[in-house]
Structure formats: C-alpha cells, structure tokens
C-alpha cells in the first residue's frame, strides 16, 4: 500500500518566546513553519519584547502575536489561554529562560505563557538558552530534570559555543567554551517534526541504537578513491528520530559534512571512519551493546587491491585497477546477532527494487529491509526527501513516497515497534 505523505508541518503549532538574546533565532523557525503550511500562533512574554517585537513575530506567523496585554483584556468568549491551550497540537518554548523554567517547574501561572501551558495537554518542547553559569546552577538543573520527568515535556540540550555574554576575544586564551547556547533552528525544526509524528511518545527510552551513515571511501592513493554519492542524510535522520524517541544513540559515519553532523546533540557518541574496514571494526566493537542496529551506510563493495602511500602522477596511473572485495558488514552482523537484537538493512537499488531487497533480507539474516529506489527523482543519495518500501521477514510490506527523510525514519521505528 503506497502512502503519499503531506508536509510534516501542516499542523497547529504554538511558539512561546521568553526573554533572552537567543529569541532572534526563533524567527527562522517560525518563518520555515509558516512557509511549510503550518498554522503558527505565538506568545511573547514582557521580557521577550525587549529583544524582539510582536510586529516581527506577527508578520512571520501571518497572525497576531499575543502578549500579556492581550491576556489581561476582557474577552467576549472563552479566556485566551484556554483557547490557545486547546488549539495547539504542539507548544514550543524557545528560548526558555531560567525564570520561565522555574515557573513551569513549580506550576506557577502569572502570565499568558504559563497559564497557557497549564491549560494545554499537548506535548511541550523546551529549548533553553542562558549564560553558562546560570545553566549550570544546581537549582536550574533540578528544575530542568523536574520538568522533563513529566511525560508531556521534552527538552533540547544546550550546545557549546560562544555566547552573547562571553568574555572579549582577547581574554579567551586557554578558556574552554561551555554550554548554554540555544540549539540551532534546523535542530529545533527536526525535533518539532518528530514530536508532530510521535505525539510525544518515548518508546525507545532505555534502548541503545547503533546507526551507520555516509559512503565509505576506498583509497588508491592519498587523494584518489572509489566511493559513492551518499551524503549521510538518511542515516542522520535515523539517528535523530531515535534520539527524539528517547534512545541512546551510537553513530558510526563515513565522511559527512560538518554542518550535517552539528544537527546531532553533543551527547551522541559519534565515530568517524573512512574505509569499509574501519566501519567494520567500529560496528563490531559496538554491536553487542545495541538493541537495534540500523545499517544505513553505503559501504563500498570493492577496493583497490594495492594502496599507494604517495600521490601517483598522472602518467603513473594504471590503465586498469585490480580490485578486491570489501568485507560485507551487514552479513557479518547478521551472523552474530543474538535475540532480542534487531537488525535493519538498507538496499539502494535501481530498476526493480523488491526482489533484490528480499534476497538481501533473507541472505543476511535481517529483521527489516528498506528498499530504496535511488534512480528516482527526490529519492536516495543527497536528497532531502525519500521514497522506500519497508519489508520484514514475515512478508509485511509498506510503501512511502516522497516524505522527508526524518519522517521515513520515524515510519521505520514504527515498523520496528509493530514487528517486535
């Protein structure tokens, strides 16, 4: 059964902004959501308006931006915080400051934002930003953990980086940059997409998920190699989906652009490799720790039989390059898999994709295979969207056409949950 999926953002999203310099980052989030077809409403606290204006946010939302001035006005219908709380399918508080965090942790309701939180029942995504000393205070961390212990609240970790309150550049010698910086807009958008799909469930809490990504490179000399066009986007999406559902993730990747790697939180164990053999070693070292392994990487099938440790001149390049087989990592993992470990493979195919994918599913002792038609437009290597057929060893098959790679990753974990 084929499913053509709409934009993941065509939902009702309430953005709440509290007072911090990071408030400027939320403009990109709101603009992207609105362009993608979301209904976006926004609340600004009084302190948020010291950094960004309601006019700016209203223009990006294509709707009036609410403030406490609206909250304290008499209404001719139901109270504003009740209306907004019931309307929203997801609330995002970004940035959330130490002050707003403390209010939510203690159940206070003294402004429109906090009243709306108490009047809602949908998932709430908290995106903190503050000075590193403030963020590291025991009482702030206690409030953070207290809020996140409640099922409907989801948190994004702060990231390391230069903060607006940091020391001048000339005073930073031997000074370690710490956490406190708000997550970037692309990270926030990915988490929003995940929560809209899952409804906030954390079905992978306590699970360790091992993901491989990217395309390996088999070098002839230091500058030439046999490779493939894989960018690592699909593997990255699988890692993000697992994290957003509560898993601990181990991420083994071939060369991937740094800007993509920054989409993963700092606490993810990332292992960088280049060749198929290096990936094999990294995967084998971690496989026994994994409850679920998703082998997304496009691993080389062959490598030059001889490696030259210096750059060959153009005249010295061989007219024919003898090749030898690379190790079949997925088959090796399938042989050593122990119950209840779960193993997923990807089959990048052209033409008729199902028959070779099913053969791979059986031959390599997989639980699920993802058949991926890489010769189709906006599917496979390098694209932001994907088309795939998910198949398990009991013959169940589901097709997804033209969805985001993160959405496909969530459908994969839904498929795993059903299969288990």
Which residues line the annotated binding site for CTP? 301, 311, 346, 360, 364
φ and ψ of 412, to 5 deg: -65, -45
HEC profile for the chain? CEEECCCCCCCEEEEEECCCHHHHHHHHHHHHHHHCCCEEEEEECCCHHHCCCHHHHHHHHCCCEECHHHHCCCCCCCCHHHHHHHHCCEEEEEEECHHHHHHHHCCCCCCHHHHHHHCCCCCEEEEECCCHHHHHCHHHHHHHHHHHCCCCEEECCCEECCCCCCCCHHHCCCCCCCEEECCCHHHHHHHHHHHHHHCCCCCCCCCEEEEEECECCEEEECCEEECCCCCCHHHHHHHHHHHHCCCEEEEEECCCCHHHHCCCCCCCEEEECCCHHHHHHHHHHHHCCCCEEEECCECCCEEECCCCCCCCCHHHCCCCCCEEECCCHHHHHHHHCCCCCEEEEEEEECCCCHHHHHHHHHHCCCCEEEEEECCCCCCCCCCCEEEEEEEECCCCEEEEEEEEHHHHHHHHHHHHHHHC
Catalytic residues: 165
Q: Which of 136, 157, 148, 186 has its CA nearest to residue 266?
A: 157
Q: Measured between alpha carbons, how far is residue 224 from residues 258, 302, 309, 326, 341 in Å?
A: 21, 14, 11, 17, 38
Alpha-carbon gap, residue 68 to 43, rounded angstroms: 8
């Amino acid at each position: 059964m084929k499913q053509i999926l709409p934009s993941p953002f065509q939902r009702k999203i309430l953005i709440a902004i509290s007072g911090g310099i990071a408030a400027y980052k939320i403009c990109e989030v709101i603009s992207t959501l609105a362009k993608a077809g979301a209904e976006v409403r926004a609340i600004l606290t009084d302190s948020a308006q010291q950094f960004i204006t309601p006019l700016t946010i209203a223009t990006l939302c294509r709707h009036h931006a609410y403030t406490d001035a609206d909250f304290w006005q008499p209404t001719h219908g139901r109270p504003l915080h009740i209306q907004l709380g019931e309307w929203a399918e997801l609330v995002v508080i970004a940035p959330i400051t130490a002050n707003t965090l403390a209010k939510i942790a203690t159940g206070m309701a003294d402004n429109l934002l906090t009243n709306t939180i108490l009047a809602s029942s949908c998932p709430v995504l908290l995106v903190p930003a503050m000075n590193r000393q403030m963020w590291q205070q025991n009482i702030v961390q206690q409030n953070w953990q207290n809020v996140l212990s409640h099922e409907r609240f989801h948190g994004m970790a702060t990231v390391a980086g230069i903060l607006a309150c940091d020391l001048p550049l000339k005073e930073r010698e031997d000074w370690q940059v710490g956490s406190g910086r708000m997550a970037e807009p692309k990270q926030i958008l990915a988490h929003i997409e995940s929560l809209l799909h899952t409804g906030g469930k954390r079905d992978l809490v306590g699970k360790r998920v091992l993901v491989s990504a990217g395309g390996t490179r088999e070098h002839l000399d230091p500058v030439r190699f046999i490779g493939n066009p894989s960018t690592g986007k699909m593997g990255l999406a699988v890692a993000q989906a697992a994290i957003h559902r509560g898993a601990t993730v181990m991420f083994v990747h071939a060369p991937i652009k740094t800007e993509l790697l920054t989409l993963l939180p700092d606490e993810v164990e990332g292992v960088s490799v280049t060749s198929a053999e290096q990936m094999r070693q990294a995967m084998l070292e971690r496989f026994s720790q994994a409850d679920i392994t998703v082998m997304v990487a496009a691993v080389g099938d062959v490598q030059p039989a001889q490696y030259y440790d210096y750059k060959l001149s153009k005249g010295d390049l061989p007219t024919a390059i003898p090749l030898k087989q690379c190790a079949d990592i997925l088959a090796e993992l399938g042989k050593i898999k122990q119950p209840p470990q779960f193993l997923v493979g990807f089959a990048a195919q052209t033409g008729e994709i199902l028959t070779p994918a099913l053969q791979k599913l059986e031959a390599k002792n997989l639980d699920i295979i993802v058949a991926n038609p890489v010769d189709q437009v906006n599917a496979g290597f390098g694209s932001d969207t994907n088309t795939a057929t998910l198949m398990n060893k009991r013959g169940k098959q589901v097709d997804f056409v033209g969805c985001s790679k993160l959405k496909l990753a969530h459908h994969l974990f839904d498929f795993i949950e059903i299969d288990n």
